[in-house]
Structure 1
Amino acid sequence: MTLPLPDLADFSLVRRGTAVAVGALALLLAGCADMGSIGSQAQMRDAASLGLSADPAATPASAVDSQWWLAFGDSQLNGLIDQAVQGNPNLQVAQARLARARASSDVAAAADKPQLNGSLDLTRQKFSENYIYPSPLGGSIQETGTLQLNGSWEIDFFGKNRSALDAALGTANAAAADADAARVLLASNVARGYLQWARLDDQLAVAQRTLAQRDETLRLVRDRVSAGLDTRLELRQSEGGLPEARQQIEALDEQIAIARHALDALVGQPDASAKLKPPVLTMLQPIALQSVLPADLLGRRADIAAARWRVEAATQDVANARTQFYPNINLVAFAGFQAIGFDTLLKSGSQQWGIGPAIRLPIFEGGKLRANLRGKSADLDAAIQSYNASVLDAVRDVADQVASAQSIGRQQAQQREAQAAAESAWDIARQRYSAGLGNYLNVLSAETTVLAQRRQAVDLAARALDTQVGLARALGGGWQPTSGSTSTAALDAPRQH
Structure 2
Amino acid sequence: MTDSFAARALRRTPVMVAALLVVALAGCADMAGIGAHAKLRDAGSLGIASADKAAAPALDSQWWLAFGDAQLSGLVDQAVAGNPNLQVAQARLARAQANADVAGAALKPKVGLDFNGTRQKFNTNYIYPEPLGGSIQNVGLLQLGASWELDFFGKNRTALDAAIGAANAAAADADAARVLLASNVARSYFQWARLNDQLAVAQRTLAQRDETLKLVRDRVSAGLDTRLELRQSEGGLPEARQQIEALDEQIAIAKHALDALVGQPGASDALKPPLIASVKPIVLQPNIPADLLGRRADIAAARWRVEAATSDVANAKTLFYPNVNLTAFVGFQSLGFGKLLKSGSEQWGVGPAIHLPIFEGGQLRANLRGKSADLDAAVESYNATVIDAVRDAADQVTSIQSIARQQAEQRAAQTAAEGAYDIAVQRYRAGLGNYLNVLTAETSVLAQRRLAVDLAARALDTQVALARALGGGWQPPSNTASAASGATTTASATPSAATH
TM above 0.5, yes or no, is yes
- The answer (yes or no) to whether the contact 1:142–1:340 under 8 Å persists in 2 is yes
Partner of residue 488 from structure 1, selected from 485, 489, 492: 485
Q: Does 1:71 align with 2:66?
A: yes
1:163-186 CA-to-partner distances (Å, cap 9, x unmatched) read 000000000000010010000000
Kept after mapping to 1: 8 A contact 2:486/2:493: no
Q: 1:449 offset after TM fit, Å?
A: 2.8
Query: In structure 1, what residue type is equivalent to 2:159?
Result: A
Matches within 5 A, 1:74-223: 74-223=69-218
Cα distance in 2 for partners of 1:264, 1:20 equals 73
Q: How far did residue 20 of structure 1 move? A: 5.6
Tell me the CA shift for residue 125 of structure 1.
1.1
* Alignment correspondent of 2:48: 52
Q: Secondary structure at the residue paired with 2:192?
A: helix
Asked if the contact 1:125/1:142 (under 8 Å) is kept, the reply is: yes
Instruction: Provide the rounded CA distance (Å) in 2 between the counterparts of 1:185 and 1:257.
Output: 23
CA 1:264–1:13 in structure 2 vs 1: closer, same or farther (change >3 Å)? farther
Tell me how far 1:448 sits from its aligned partner: 4.1
Amino acid corresponding to residue 353 of structure 1 in structure 2: W
Instruction: Give 1:52 deviation, angstroms.
Output: 1.3
Structure 1 position 234, deviation (Å): 3.8
Give the aligned partner of residue 345 of structure 2: 350
Following TM superposition, by how much is the alpha carbon of 1:293 offset from its aligned partner in structure 2, in angstroms?
Answer: 1.3
CA RMSD of aligned residues (A): 2.3
Query: Aligned in 2, Cα 1:214/1:13: closer, same or farther, shift over 3 Å?
Result: farther
1:27 aligns with 2:59: no
Match in the other structure for 1:479: 474
Q: Pick from 445, 453, 457: which aligns with 1:462?
A: 457
Q: Aligned partners of 1:29, 1:225: CA distance in 2, in Å?
A: 106
| CA distance, structure 2, for counterparts of residue 222 and residue 132 of structure 1 | 120
CA deviation after TM superposition for structure 1 residue 431, in Å: 6.0
Q: Is 1:207–1:245's contact at 8 Å kept on the other side of the alignment?
A: yes
* Partner of residue 358, structure 2: 363
Opposite residue 392 of structure 2, the aligned amino acid is D
2:323 maps to which of 308, 328, 341: 328
> Distance in 2 between the 1:13 and 1:351 partners?
31
Contact 1:299–1:488 (CA under 8 A) maintained in structure 2: yes
SS of structure 2 residue aligned to 1:359: strand
| SS of structure 1 residue aligned to 2:146 | strand
Cα distance in 2 for partners of 1:81, 1:75 equals 10
Alpha-carbon distance in structure 1 between the residues aligned to 2:198 and 2:153: 68
- Say whether the 8 Å CA contact 2:229–2:435 is kept in structure 1: no
Does structure 1 conserve the Cα–Cα contact (< 8 Å) formed by 2:300 and 2:487? no
CA pair 17-119 structure 1, distance change in 2 beyond 3 A:
farther
SS state of the match for residue 184, structure 2?
Answer: helix
Length, aligned pairs only: 484
TM-score computed with the length of structure 2 as normaliser: 0.92
Range with greater deviation from structure 2 (86-95 or 218-227): 218-227
Deviations 1:261-283 (A, max 9, x none): 11111111112111100111011
Instruction: Measure, in 2, the Cα distance between the counterparts of 1:343 and 1:46.
Output: 74
User: Which of residues 279, 285, 297 is equivalent to 1:302?
Assistant: 297
CA deviations on 1:48-92 (whole Å, 9 max, x unpaired) are 111113x42232324211111111000000100011111111111
Secondary structure in 2 matching 1:378 = helix
Contact kept? 2:425, 2:438, Cα under 8 Å: yes
Q: Give 1:428 shift.
A: 4.2
Q: Within 2, Cα distance between the matches of 1:432 and 1:364?
A: 99
Name the SS of the counterpart of 2:180 in structure 1: helix
Cα offsets for 1:466-496 (capped at 9, x unmatched): 0000000000000011112234333222314
What CA deviation, in whole Å up to 9, does each residue of 1:104-129 have, x standing for no partner? 10111010000001111111111111
- When normalised by structure 1's length, the TM-score is 0.92
Mapped pair 1:395 → 2:390? yes
Distance across 1 between alignment mates of 2:177 and 2:418? 45
Q: 1:187 to 1:488 in 2, by over 3 A?
A: same
- Percent identity of the aligned residues? 74
State the distance in 2 between where 1:14 and 1:434 align: 123
Matched residues in 1 for 2:419 and 2:15: separation? 97
| 2:34 counterpart letter in structure 1 | I
Q: CA deviation at 1:290?
A: 1.3
1:440: how far off?
8.9
Choose 21-30 or 255-264, whichever is displaced more. Answer: 21-30
Contact 1:213 1:444 in 2 (8 A): no
Mapped contact 2:179–2:471 kept (Cα < 8 A): yes
- Give the superposition deviation at 1:213: 2.1
Query: 8 Å contact 1:60–1:294 — kept in the other structure?
Result: yes
Aligned mates of 1:30, 1:336 — CA distance in 2: 39
Displacement of 1:211 in angstroms is 1.7
Structure 2 gaps of 5+ residues are 1-8
Report if the CA contact (8 A) 1:419-1:454 is conserved.
Answer: yes
Q: Secondary structure at the match of 1:113?
A: coil
Gaps of 5+ in 1: 1-11
| Deviation string, structure 1 residues 13-36 (Cα, Å, up to 9, x no partner) | 9999776644431111111x1112
1:254 paired residue number: 249
Secondary structure at the residue paired with 2:281? coil
